[in-house]
Amino acid sequence: MPIPESQRHTFIVRFWRQPREILDMPPEWRGSIIDAAGGQRRYFTTFQELILIMASQMNLQEADLQVLTRGLSPPKDQEP
Three-state SS sequence of 40-61: CEEEECCHHHHHHHHHHHHCCC
How far is 44 from 30, CA to CA, in rounded Å? Answer: 6
- pTM value is 0.69
| Between 14 and 70, residue with greater pLDDT | 14
Q: CA separation (Å) from 60 to 15, 29, 54, 57? A: 24, 26, 9, 8
Q: CA separation (Å) from 79 to 52, 60, 61, 70? A: 18, 24, 24, 16
Q: What is the pLDDT of residues 7-35, one digit of tens each?
A: 788 999 999 999 988 888 899 999 999 99
